[in-house]
Structure 1
């Protein structure tokens, strides 16, 4: 039986629990693009940063392959979901 919980962005491939959120942490869901469905730990972000921020996240599966980054920005009105904006080298 496979685990259907989302993957936590940044966990190592050999992490024994790559789909287990840390208690007390805050996560946003990445929507679209190569990291679609993963959770990003934004515990250190203020509520304003979560609503207005964003992140360039390393992704080997984006348009530019290994070393490329995928741009995710908060969804207006839903800061717990960050939408893919595109990839950059």
Structure 2
């Protein structure tokens, strides 16, 4: 897989690391739909309850403009991913 076809890791571009680099000791879920479609979310540090609840992720492409949030969560039938877009929130 070339670097251009590897998914971007959510938040990696903000911490100065390669936005396409994953770590073998981390767990990632793909984001499906919405403004972050195709990116990977590192869920390594989340508890089981937090993984069930999903997350509001900051995005530059929200309905509410840059800095708005997009709601992503697992589906009941696929709790380990992908997390699907539920909509934008302020």
TM (normalized to structure 2)?
0.85
User: For residue 25 of structure 1, what is the aligned residue in structure 2?
Assistant: 26
| Secondary structure of 1:34 counterpart | helix
**How far apart are the structure 1 equivalents of 2:3 and 2:65?**
27
Segments of 4+ moved more than 6 angstroms: none
Q: Are 2:3 and 2:20, in contact at CA under 8 Å, matched by a contact in 1? A: no
- Report the count of equivalent residues: 88
Aligned equivalents of 2:88, 2:38: Cα separation in 1: 16
> Does the residue aligned with 1:66 lie in a helix, a strand or coil?
coil
Q: C-alpha separation between the residues in 2 aligned to 1:47 and 1:56?
A: 16
Shift of the 67–48 alpha-carbon distance from structure 1 to 2, 3 Å rule, reads closer
SS in structure 2 at match of 1:12: helix
The 5 A counterparts of 1:1-89 are 3-12=4-13, 15=16, 17-50=18-51, 52-78=52-78, 79-89=80-90
CA distance in 1 between counterparts of 2:6 and 2:25 reads 18
TM-score, normalised with respect to structure 1: 0.86
Structure 1 spans left out of the alignment, 5+ residues: none
Could you list the runs of 5+ residues in structure 2 that have no partner in the other structure?
A: none
